[in-house]
């Protein structure tokens, strides 16, 4: 018997990570007037970074980009990322944070599913003794007389979606042993349902790469969920409830009679029985073939034989420990199934004011060790050997300009120079006219 039906969104769920997710972090020091622009003007990422919300109530801000790549099921845990250096896109140099930041990340379960919003309840009994007599039509829509554990809710399924959410806290070191929260006590919550977050001190955005995969055959099936009576103890659960969501039923639409007057459909009303011709001569229960408990009993027997079930949810997907979630804002219900698709990449972009941060320019130090020339022809080739004698990565290029005797100018591309590394950089300069016999002087030999 059916009293209500609801629509369920299917979502694929991640738990936490055993080996841990792959997390990459990058920090950028940029003016508050504009978002960082390390991408082309046509880049989708650039459009995302420059879209609202953007932190503008400061002179300089620290933009932290977190790339989280999940590929395994894992244990729930807090994840920490240490930030003590930021890149300066304008100078292509790095800046040290004298008071480092720690980013704490907690991943909420991710899921794939959807439910729609009609709800009915169907009887769980296949042969109720109450149908052995000839009743008058005043009880043809009979919906009482069942114990609470004898009812199912029927949910219409919507296309699967991937749900993922993270909770981020940023802490700044203050003094030798103390830390204070930049993001406040509640932190920043981001995810597929909450792609942006803004407070006075923090702006955050979220992107996800995952496409819906798996899920259930939503167009031609309904999900039947047994009704659990309030206060029912675990030891009192009937057999069809003891395995939780694994024993929910996935039933083809054509087998359902949601409020219909047709006999032997899942959810047939007593009206179907009362409308039968010569109903008093019918065999007891003849109108209630193919009821939920029949389906469960059949599949439970198949399971005991090691065979795949026909209707049990476990034969279609792997439900999570919290199979039904409700979005507090939209009140939409979600059936949560474990995500089993390709690696899931998500990106969190956070902006905080850098006006109060103590910064120090990079301690990279470049030394021009040797310069030599080959002037046997035209153009002249100049060789420069450059060594990074500091402790941080540097970006260097060679430039020659302002030379006497009509020599032209030249420069190399910018290249990274790591601590202790020596690079050979070549410049080629052409002379218009004859080769001079005196020394040639230039105003630029490195940058």
- pLDDT tens profile 378-415: 777 777 778 777 666 677 788 877 777 667 778 888 88
Q: What are 81's two structure tokens?
A: 């990322």
- What mean pLDDT is predicted for residues 14-19? 38
Domain shared by 262 and 289, yes or no: yes
Domain shared by 131 and 219, yes or no: yes
Q: What does the pLDDT read at residue 412?
A: 83
Averaged pLDDT of the chain: 72
Domain shared by 145 and 286, yes or no: yes
The helix or strand, by DSSP H or E, that contains position 297, with its residue range, turns out to be helix 292-304
Q: Please name which of 25, 63, 56 lies closest in space to residue 352, comparing C-alpha atoms.
A: 63
Residue 436 CB partners (closer than 8 Å, separation 6+)? 404, 405
- pLDDT tens profile 319-347: 877 888 777 777 777 788 777 667 778 88
State the pTM of this model. 0.57
Q: Is the peptide bond before 325 cis (omega within 30 degrees of 0)?
A: no
**95: containing domain:** 14-110+163-212+345-353
Number of domains comprising the chain: 3
Domain shared by 231 and 274, yes or no: yes
Domain shared by 78 and 106, yes or no: yes
225 in any annotated domain: yes
Domain shared by 152 and 203, yes or no: no
172 in any annotated domain: yes
Q: What does the pLDDT read at residue 110?
A: 58
Domain shared by 23 and 121, yes or no: no
Domain shared by 88 and 226, yes or no: no
Domain shared by 62 and 190, yes or no: yes
CATH assignment at residue 376 = 2.60.40.10
- pLDDT tens profile 62-110: 999 999 887 765 446 678 888 888 888 776 777 888 888 889 888 875 5
Phi, psi of 78 (to 5 degrees): -85, 140
Name the DSSP class of 308. Answer: P
Q: What gap in Å lies between CA 217 and CA 132, rounded to an integer?
A: 37
- What mean pLDDT is predicted for residues 102-131? 56
8 in any annotated domain: no
Domain shared by 102 and 23, yes or no: yes
Q: What does the pLDDT read at residue 305?
A: 93
Domain shared by 247 and 376, yes or no: no
Domain shared by 90 and 181, yes or no: yes
Q: What does the pLDDT read at residue 300?
A: 94
Q: What gap in Å lies between CA 212 and CA 161, rounded to an integer?
A: 5
For 212: left if phi > 0, alpha if psi spans -120 to 50, otherwise beta; the answer is: beta
Q: Please name which of 393, 374, 367, 346 lies closest in space to residue 435, comparing C-alpha atoms.
A: 374
């Amino acid at each position: 018997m059916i009293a209500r039906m609801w629509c369920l969104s299917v979502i694929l769920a991640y738990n936490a990570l055993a080996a841990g997710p792959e997390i990459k972090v990058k920090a950028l020091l940029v003016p508050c007037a504009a978002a960082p622009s390390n991408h082309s003007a046509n880049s989708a990422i650039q459009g995302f970074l420059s879209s609202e919300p953007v932190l503008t109530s400061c002179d300089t801000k620290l933009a932290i980009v977190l790339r989280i790549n999940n590929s395994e099921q894992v244990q729930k845990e807090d994840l920490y990322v240490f930030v003590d250096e930021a890149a300066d896109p304008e100078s292509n140099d790095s800046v040290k944070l004298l008071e480092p930041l720690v980013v704490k990340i907690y991943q909420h379960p991710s899921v794939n599913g959807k439910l729609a919003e009609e709800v009915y309840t169907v009887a769980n009994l296949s042969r109720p003794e109450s149908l052995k007599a000839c009743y008058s039509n005043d009880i043809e829509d009979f919906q009482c007389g069942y114990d609470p554990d004898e009812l199912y809710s029927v949910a219409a399924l919507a296309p699967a979606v991937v749900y993922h959410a993270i909770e981020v806290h940023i802490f700044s070191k203050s003094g030798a042993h103390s830390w204070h929260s930049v993001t406040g006590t509640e932190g920043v919550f981001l995810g597929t349902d909450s792609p942006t977050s803004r407070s006075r001190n923090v702006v955050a955005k979220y992107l996800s790469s995952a496409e819906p995969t798996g899920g259930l055959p939503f167009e031609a099936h309904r999900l039947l969920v047994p009704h659990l009576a309030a206060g029912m103890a675990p030891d009192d659960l009937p057999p069809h409830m003891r395995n939780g969501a694994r024993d929910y039923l996935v039933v083809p639409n054509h087998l359902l009679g949601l409020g219909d007057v047709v006999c032997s459909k899942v959810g047939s009303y007593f009206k179907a029985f009362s409308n039968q011709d010569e109903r008093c001569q019918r065999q007891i229960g003849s109108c209630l073939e193919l009821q939920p408990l029949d389906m469960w009993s059949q599949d439970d027997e198949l399971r005991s034989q090691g065979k795949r079930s026909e209707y049990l949810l476990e034969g279609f997907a792997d439900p999570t420990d919290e199979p039904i979630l409700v979005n507090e804002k939209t009140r939409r219900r979600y059936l949560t199934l474990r995500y089993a698709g390709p690696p899931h990449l998500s990106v969190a972009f956070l902006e905080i004011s850098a006006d109060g941060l103590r910064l120090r320019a990079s301690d990279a130090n470049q030394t021009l060790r040797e310069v030599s020339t080959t002037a046997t022809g035209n153009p002249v080739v100049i060789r420069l050997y450059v060594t990074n004698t500091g402790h941080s990565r540097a970006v260097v290029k060679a430039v020659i300009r302002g030379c006497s005797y009509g020599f032209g100018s030249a420069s190399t591309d910018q290249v990274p120079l790591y601590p202790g590394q020596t690079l050979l950089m070549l410049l080629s300069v052409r002379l218009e006219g004859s080769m001079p016999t005196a020394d040639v002087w230039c105003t630029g030999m490195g940058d």
